[in-house]
């Protein structure tokens, strides 16, 4: 899955067949929050993002989220937006 940012949202693009050199990224929000001892509910309050949205980030780090939400989460965790992602090796 590749995420492409278009008009303020992050949309997942699914490939029907595997291609060589496909880049897969995932959110590492849960890991960043846990490193800072920030719970799911606390992150929701600090970032002013709904609990259900943060919960979805925790449970499905491959889900696409809009950039405004990601900006709020990054700001709450004191990281850049790029730090919210990691590349996953293509298997």
Neighbours of 90 (CB within 10 A): 11
Q: % helix / strand / coil in the chain, to the nearest 5?
A: 45, 20, 35
Q: Give the distance from CA 73 to its chain's centroid.
A: 9
Give yes or no for residue 63 having a pLDDT over 70: yes
Query: Averaged over 23-33, what is the pLDDT?
Result: 91
Ordered structural domains, the chain, with CATH? 2-14+24-88 (1.10.260.40)
pLDDT at 91: 60
Q: Is the pLDDT of residue 10 over 70?
A: no
28 compared with 10, residue with greater pLDDT: 28
Question: Torsion over CA of 49, 47, 80 and 56, rounded to 10 degrees?
Answer: -40
Q: Which pTM value belongs to this model?
A: 0.74
């Amino acid at each position: 899955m590749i995420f492409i940012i278009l008009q303020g949202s992050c949309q997942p693009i699914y490939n029907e067949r595997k291609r060589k050199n496909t880049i897969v990224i995932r959110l590492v929000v849960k890991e960043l929050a846990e490193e800072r001892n920030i719970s799911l509910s606390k992150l929701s309050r600090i970032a002013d993002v709904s609990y259900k949205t943060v919960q979805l980030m925790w449970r499905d780090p491959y889900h696409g989220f809009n950039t405004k939400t990601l900006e709020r989460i990054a700001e709450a965790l004191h990281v850049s937006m790029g730090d919210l992602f990691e590349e996953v090796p293509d298997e």
